[in-house]
Structure 1
Amino acid sequence: MAPIEETRLLNHLTAAVMVVDSQLMVQFANQACEQLFGLSHRRLTEIRLTDCVSRIGLEPAQLQQSLASHQGSAFYAMSLVSLDGQHHTVDLFLTPLQDGQGLLELRVIDQQQRISQELHQYAQHHAAQLLVRGLAHEIKNPLGGLRGAAQLLERQLTEPDQKEFTGIIIEQADRLRILVDRLLGPQKPGPRVVANIHRVLEQVSQLCALEFADTLVFIRDYDPSIPDFEMERDLLQQAVLNIVRNAAQAMEGRGTITLKTRTCSQVTIAGKRHRMAAMVSIIDNGPGIDDKLKDTLFYPMVTGKADGSGLGLSIAQNAVAQHQGRIDVDSWPGHTAFTLMLPLITTKESQ
């Protein structure tokens, strides 16, 4: 136990600080630790560090090895999930002390991580749009000529067997044009109406419930205080549908998807501050997102499915961006959450 004066000093720190022994049993924890883990000081000092959380992004053996070798360690941008389900991103620093003990400092970097993720996604989105528009221009021009030539040739052919081949050329040209159009997505906002976000979520859940029968369970956790706001309803529905369908397919149609809504005040998105925003979370208990895909998740044509097109999340991001919003992602085995932050823009504010 730390002396009284040192304890008072440590309790004034915003960083979570704790002392653990060689078996990672907690010997001391300051008040910031109690807030981070959602546990009382008495409870914390009765358990191991690994029992304070439901998940932490490192192996306990790494900390024990550092303590045994009396070497300091630093672990950056680690995922930490408290016992009450709160997710945080933390930097963890270990300083060995005497008698095999160690001082752990955990700094919560949620805000910095969120800003970094938003900037990264914005850069992804901008780069992908430039790439796709350039490719679309290069593909559509010769594609139109190819289709036109096939149509002219078809008119001069008399044998049905020969016309079958020109029909295939026209059909495949049309299929490629549709694919390019899907890659581009709607480039200009369509007509907007004042609508209810929960009706959009209900329509999506009904569509997916029909597709996956009774093996997919939906849990609703709605905030009824969210007001109706201006949206391009069909576009937003497609964005949510793509995310929900991805979740269902990742779980092979067997699992639980939670649709959760909340309001947030004073939200900053892409450098612009909004007085109020709707937070729409789509949470599944599937296998989680492959670490190899996380950095390129919203790029078009990137997919973890053998038969996937890789367009679903790219289209969803484009739709949310057109609503001046953003998409946040948290994922680990057994939990994946896509959170749409949508500014509550009224008709008066948009004029």
Structure 2
Amino acid sequence: MSPHTPRPSPPLPTPPWWDDLSTAVMVTDGELRLQAMNGSAEVLLGLSRERILGHPLGHWLHLDRNLSTRLRSALVQDQPITLRARQMEPLRAESFLADVIITPLQGEGDEPGRLLFELSAIDRHERISREEQLQKQQAISRAVTRGLAHEIKNPLGGLRGAAQLLAGELDDPDLREYTRIIIHEADRLRALVDRMLGPNNMPQRTSVNLHEILEHVRGLISVQLPLGVKIRGDYDPSIPEIKADRDMLVQALLNLVQNALQALGDEGEIVLSSRILRQYTVSGKRHRLVARLSVRDNGPGIPEEVRERIFFPMITGRASGTGLGLPIAQSLVQLHDGLIECHSRPGSTRFDILLPVAGPPASESPEA
């Protein structure tokens, strides 16, 4: 170790119930090196504790000069700090709005003091409300799509049958070619309607390794990448195997990666990542563990007028798009009691697949 490199601070033991808290909790030493954190803090920072404990908090969370000075003053003066609706900016995760309480913990005797951080993300409730609204909109969309599909498929069947009967009565091969075109187009429209309805089969669940699925998708996409587009992985090795339908998850991820590739064009980067989330709410249920699989690209972003309807059938921001890839991916993930969320701004678009890890929900109330 270089003499100029600060020695990592030893981690502190923490009680098991820390990971049941929806509030993010962290403890630093007097030099603001992380000594303890719970699962909710891992979620907000976007990194596991095994990776960052012992190192300065400022390596993972942006601390401006004013805040750093206040933190050290709080420790010296033994005065707590309360920050309301503070914009927090992790260096490896999305920024978030939080109420922050920082409490000095004085050491006994010659033991140095510490700081206790409590962060309550106040924009989570907005996310949960947005998720509930999305589910209601999709339920209405599915009902309308089923009704339209019924009205379309019935006359298509009659049209196809009539064309087949007509073909049997015609001797002229040129005229039979017209009936062949009618039958082909009727079959194409029927297949399109079936795709709009989404998957009909229930998942065939087996134990699957999510990183193997991500790497499989990365391999499939790598062979069709333009020279200027790169794809890489960034995985959390702590994610356990889950019970899921491998083929369905492969298809959902392929649809998301294809969408990113089309958005980039001939130049850019796609990042496939995985993280474990603790005490996280998906579809109105709070789960102790949730696996998050993300597909991120640095393309132009999704137009604002399309963003709120991106998972509806036939909605697309591209002239050549079908508008079915994302709705199908959402349907496949929802069959696993999960959800796909979209976060987009110019220069960064991220689709998150949220999959509950096996086990009963932690709570029915959306606290996280």
Per the TM superposition, whether the score is higher than 0.5 is yes
Tell me which amino acid in the other structure corresponds to 1:303. Answer: T
Q: Work out whether 1:280 is the aligned partner of 2:293.
A: yes
1:302 to 309, 315, 337: 315
How does 1:101-180 map onto structure 2 within 5 Å? 109-180=122-193
Deviation at 1:118, TM superposition (A): 0.7
Q: How many angstroms does 1:267 deviate by?
A: 2.1
The number of equivalent residue pairs is 267
In 2: Cα distance, 1:206 partner to 1:227 partner? 22
2:94 aligns with 87
Offset of residue 117 of structure 1: 2.0
> What amino acid sits opposite 1:250 in the alignment?
A
User: Could you tell me which of 303, 306, 316 is aligned with 1:290?
Assistant: 303
**Following the alignment from structure 1 to structure 2, what is the Cα–Cα distance between the partners of residues 342 and 307?**
31
1:1-351 alignment, distance < 5 Å: 38-42=62-66, 82=89, 84=91, 86-88=93-95, 90=97, 109-345=122-358
Measured at CA, do residues 261 and 119 of structure 1 come closer, stay the same or move farther in structure 2, by a change above 3 Å? same
Q: Any conservation in 1 of the 2:88–2:97 contact (CA below 8 Å)?
A: no
| Partner Cα distance (1:211, 1:124) in 2 | 35
Deviations for 1:13-35, whole angstroms, at most 9, x for unmatched residues?
Answer: x9xxxxxxxxxxxxxxxxxxx99
- Counterpart of 1:216, as a letter, is V
CA distance in 2 between counterparts of 1:40 and 1:286 reads 29
Where does residue 46 of structure 2 map in the other structure? none
The answer to which structure, 1 or 2, has the higher relative contact order (CA under 8 A, 6+ apart) is 2
| Aligned-partner Cα distance in 2 for 1:221–1:89 | 22
Aligned to 1:58: none
Verify the 8 A CA contact 1:209 1:216 in the aligned structure 2: no
Change (3 A) 1:131 1:310: same
Q: Relative to 1, partners in 2 of residues 1:146 and 1:137: Cα closer, same or farther, differing over 3 Å?
A: same
Q: Deviations over 1:222-259 (max 9, x none)?
A: 11221111111111111111111111110104211111
User: Would the aligned equivalents of 2:249 and 2:332 in 1 still touch at CA under 8 Å?
Assistant: yes
Residue 124 of structure 1 contacts residue 298 of structure 1 at CA under 8 Å; is this kept in 2? Answer: no
SS at match of 1:310: coil
Q: Normalization by structure 1: what TM-score? A: 0.70
Gaps of 5+ in 2: 1-22, 24-56, 70-84, 99-119, 361-368
Deviation at 1:40, TM superposition (A): 4.0
Aligned partners of 2:92 and 2:237: how far apart in 1? Answer: 23
Could you list the runs of 5+ residues in structure 1 that have no partner in the other structure? 1-13, 15-33, 46-76, 92-106
Separation in 1 of the partners of 2:181 and 2:142?
30
Q: Deviations over 1:120-175 (max 9, x none)?
A: 22122211211111111111111111101100110111100000000000000000
Q: Matches of 1:152 and 1:281 in 2, distance apart? A: 51
Does the 8 A contact of 2:203 with 2:335 survive in 1?
A: no
Q: Provide closer, same or farther for how the CA distance between residues 175 and 157 of structure 1 changes in structure 2, counting only shifts above 3 A.
A: same
Report the Cα distance in structure 2 between the residues aligned to 1:157 and 1:218, rounded to whole angstroms: 55
TM-fit CA distance, 1:114: 1.1
TM-score by length of 2: 0.67
> 1:108 Cα shift?
5.8
The structure richer in helix per residue is 1
Asked if structure 1 preserves the Cα contact closer than 8 Å seen for 2:132 and 2:284, the reply is: no
Q: Distance between the aligned counterparts of 1:295 and 1:108, measured in 2?
A: 23
